[in-house]
Amino acid sequence: MPNFCAAPNCTRKSTQSDLAFFRFPRDPERCRIWVENCRRADLEAKTSDQLNKHYRLCAKHFDPAMVCKTSPYRTVLKDTAIPTIFDLTSHLKNPHTRHRKRIKELTEEDIRKIKERRLASSIEQLVSKKDTAVEDSTSTNEDEPQLSTEEKEFREYLRSLFEVMVMLGKQSIPLEANKASEAEHKSNNFQALLDYRMNSGDEALKKRFEATALNTEYLSAAQQSQLLDVCENTVREEMLMEVRESRFFSLVTGDLVEFAGEKHLPLFLRFVNQQNVLREEFLDFVPFDGDESALVERLEAQLTDRWGLSMEECRGQAHKATGTSTTKMKAVAVLLMEKYPLALHMPCSHMALNIHLANSLPFPSVQVVMETLRRIGAFFSTPFTQDELERAISTHYQKNEEKGSALKQTCGPGWTEQHNVFDVLLDLLPPLLLCMDTIRDNVDGTFADAVVTDAYSIAEILADFEIVVTIVILKNVLTFTRAFGRNLNGETLDVFFAANSLTAVLHSLNEVSDNIEVYHEFWYEEAVSVATVAEIPVTIPRLFLRKQRAADVVEIQAEVYFKEYVTVPVIRGIMQEVEDMFSETNLKALKCLSLVPAVMGQMKFNTTEENYAEVYRNDLPNPDTLPAELHCWRIKWKHRGKEVRLPTTIHETLQLPDVKFFPNVNSFLKVLSTLPVLKLEDNKTDMASDRLQVYLNSVPVNQWNKSLIMLNVNTHVKHDLDVMVDKYCRLYPEDDPEAEGECEEAAEEDATK
């Protein structure tokens, strides 16, 4: 049965709000003050027990400092909490409305008595303040159990352990150090830090380990694992509390990470927090084994059963997949949308659209190109290899220094992830091969053997004519989506216009498909020209020729082969992916961005959000009043003062103090903000996906630890050591000193027998 708020002019109930509801206190004096502040005449005759049993006040009527959240599922009031925030006037605007909760009109005598009681209460508080302070110093809260000296020392000891664990995670320090030699055992960084703390005067650790023999482990691997689990779960729960409060979220997955012999899927959640700031946080790794259905069930179980979220509140999904995992993740997205139609599948704002489209194509030659691009990006991440590439560019373009200089600037860090990556790769192909040949020769011994091996492997792939043709086809086909993709990764206004330009993009792709013979002829000639400059022979793949000879089929011409096996599949695959990623529902959602005032202004305030709002009708607090509210919203901005600037982003709009007077618009913008295609607007800190990648790049694979990764990526999240200690004591009571004492006594009794 729902709880209703007893305050006048308050219609909140527990089924419509995440607010906490509090019973009237049983203490007669405190209960009388609550009733007095409520100004409910009908409650004055009721006893404190009756009020405690049948009446509630919601948290909105208390100062926030009086409300304490002791856990994600429990909110309590301070013992001295008194409700002080009430609406006692709004009913006057509509005097004909019937009110069940009648407000008592105070006479002068009532006001005088209230003042006298409050004055007397203040004097009593001042008199008893010293006594209370003394009592507080000698006694503990009745609700909290009295801790023995051993238990206090044990908690201090645990606090020191958790402090070390958190520091290991923040500083990317693995638990185990690398082997110095086969004969030498691995030193434990955790144990070394405990030694350092004890030498620095940590009394809690000293008391615990003063009798421990030298060179023995202070904690077993199992105990270390328990500490890490508690750290990880505590940090995750802090973020999940914010997600639950925000209600709506989007699901984002990263590229596969392989450790402990298994592939894992990084899982991120995007949401708008209580400060109306868009956040995207790393929550966990999900095992990638099994088929698509098994992975969907695993994701659902993680989000709903373990984390207490509802997939019905998921408003978007994006999957940053590469290689062979792309097909599986596309199937996962389809299955999730079948179950939850509003979990719209969209491109991820972290990735250029053209990169996403190329990654989505399941053809071997395209996947080889995309994997090679990732390898090239990693290969030239060091100054030595980058300098060698720039020298090769200068050598190749010595007769065209202007183009050479432009190419050097273009191929800086991150060029393999840009919208125009295939254009740059074609211009860079001859000097790139020259650079790889120089590194392979390694005349001066500048480069390590591993670098030379990588250079040889990359050069062999790029010197294949099939790869050259694939790069040329990708460059030309994705030219039609490049401007669209740039807008999609741009500001709110750019995204809105991108959604309205999709028809033109599809029209261009259809025109290419209808005239594929003509287009392919030009593109094939371009591929042959590039291959000639790079001294790459024009050939059909050896494997295909062998199969053809075995089947005794007439030999196919190279131009015909590449049209049937590269050009046609690529153009069809790109068209299909664009149509899937930007379905009618997705476009309706993006066109609702016209709610942002700057977009309204660009459209001369002639926008029609009502036509697209049906998608999110059930997410609005008062959907029936939406048309009238939208009209007022437009009028507000259309007739603003000349000095008032139109907010350009959802983030700016949500920060406006008067947006709360437009509850439907406010909710609408929060839902839209979670869509994964929109870029994160608060760029003060790196994205969680970037922080994760930095950790994976900086720490050796054999030293990755899931819990330490969670701590490292989420260093900005509050690390409450006391909460960790409490959680550990609840989960592992067998480690409690009293339990240990009982075991020792039992052992002594057995020995005497």
Cα torsion 328, 330, 331, 333 to 10°: value is 130
The pLDDT score that the predictor gives to residue 64 is: 80
Looking at the structure, do residues 425 and 540 belong to the same domain, yes or no?
yes
CA 132/CA 601 separation, integer angstroms: 61
In a shared domain, residues 516 and 430: yes
Count of C-beta atoms within a 10 Å radius of residue 164: 22
| Residue pLDDT, tens place only, 343-376 | 999 998 888 999 999 999 989 999 999 999 999 9
Torsion of CA 138, 139, 140, 146, to 10 degrees: 100
Q: What is the pLDDT of residue 208?
A: 72
77 and 42 share one domain: yes
Which residue segment(s) compose the domain that 50 sits in?
21-92+100-125
Angle between helices 737-752 and 149-170 in degrees, nearest 10: 120
How is residue 204 written in tokens? 């809690």
Residues 536, 609, single domain; the answer is no
Closest CA to 175 of 219, 237, 210: 219
Residues 554 and 621 in one domain: no
* 280 DSSP β-pair partners: 270
Indicate whether 444 belongs to any domain.
Answer: yes
Residues of the chain with pLDDT under 50: 98-99, 122-123, 125-127, 129-130, 132-134, 137-144, 180-186, 213-215, 684, 739-748, 750-753
Listed in sequence order, the residues at least 6 apart from 737 whose beta carbon sits closer than 8 Å to its beta carbon are: 148, 150, 151, 153, 154
Q: Quick one: pLDDT at residue 124?
A: 53
- Tell me phi and psi for residue 251, to 5 degrees: -100, 125
Q: Is 601 found in the same domain as 546?
A: no
Same domain for 623 and 529: no
Is 547 within a domain? Answer: yes
DSSP 608-634: -GGGTGGGGGGGSS-GGGHHHHHHHHH
Q: Give the DSSP H or E segment for 330.
A: helix 325-339
Torsion of CA 578, 583, 586, 591, to 10 degrees: 90
The amino acid present at 27, given as its one-letter code, is D
Tell me how far CA of residue 19 lies from CA of 4, 15, 60, 61, 569, in angstroms. 11, 10, 8, 11, 54
In three-state secondary structure terms, 267 is strand
Task: Please report the DSSP string for 663-688 in residue order.
Answer: HHHHHHHHHHHT-TTSPPS-TTS--H
Residue where one domain finishes, among candidates 614, 647, 674: 674
Q: Where does a domain end: 125, 140, 173? A: 125
How many domains in the chain? 3
Is residue 208 included in any domain, yes or no? no
**CA-to-CA separations, 643 to 594, 639, 657, in angstroms, rounded:** 22, 11, 17
In a domain, 234, yes or no: no
Are residues 48 and 27 in contact, defined by beta-carbon separation less than 8 angstroms? yes
My answer on whether 405 and 466 are in the same domain is yes
Instruction: Give me the helices (H) in 21-96, please.
Output: 28-38, 48-54
Q: In this structure, is residue 229 part of a structural domain?
A: no
CB 5 within 8 A of CB 58: yes
* Residue 124 three-state SS: helix
Which DSSP letter does residue 305 get? I
Residue with tokens 């025109």: 511
The DSSP H or E segment spanning 420 is none
204-216: pLDDT as tens digits: 777 777 655 444 5
Going from the C-alpha of 301 to that of each of 294, 295, 692, 706, 707, the distances in angstroms are: 10, 10, 23, 19, 20
Q: Which amino acid is at 503?
A: T
Task: Kindly list the distances between the CA atom of residue 107 and the CA atoms of 111, 113, 114, 117, 308, in Å, as whole numbers in the listed order.
Answer: 6, 10, 11, 16, 50
Same structural domain for residues 366 and 403?
yes
Statement to judge: residues 539 and 665 lie in one domain: no
Residues 454 and 590 in one domain: no
C-beta of residue 505 within 8 angstroms of C-beta of residue 556: no
Contact 698, 172 (CB under 8 A): yes
The whole-model pTM stands at: 0.75
How big is the chain, counted in residues? 753
Q: Name the residue among 336, 330, 422 with its Cα closest to residue 376.
A: 422
Residue where a domain stops, chosen among 582, 614, 630? 582
Q: Per the domain annotation, does 313 fall within a domain?
A: no
Q: Report the distance separating Cα 733 and Cα 717, nearest Å.
A: 27
Distance CA 659, CA 661 (A): 5
The separation between the first and the last C-alpha atoms of the chain, rounded to the nearest angstrom, is: 60
Q: Is residue 679 part of a domain?
A: no
H helical segments located in 515-610: 516-533, 542-550, 558-562, 568-581, 584-591, 597-602
Q: How far is CA 78 from the centre of its chain?
A: 34
The pLDDT value given to residue 140: 42
Find, among 347, 269, 349, the residue nearest to 311 by Cα: 269
Q: How high is the pLDDT of residue 526? A: 93
Domain membership flag for residue 232: no
**Taking each helix axis from N to C terminus, what angle separates 465-477 and 449-462, rounded to the nearest 10 degrees?**
70
Per-residue tokens: 525: 């000639």
Same domain, 604 and 553: no
Nearest CA-CA partner of 669 in 579, 562, 583, 589:
589
Residue 259: both structure tokens together: 């450790």
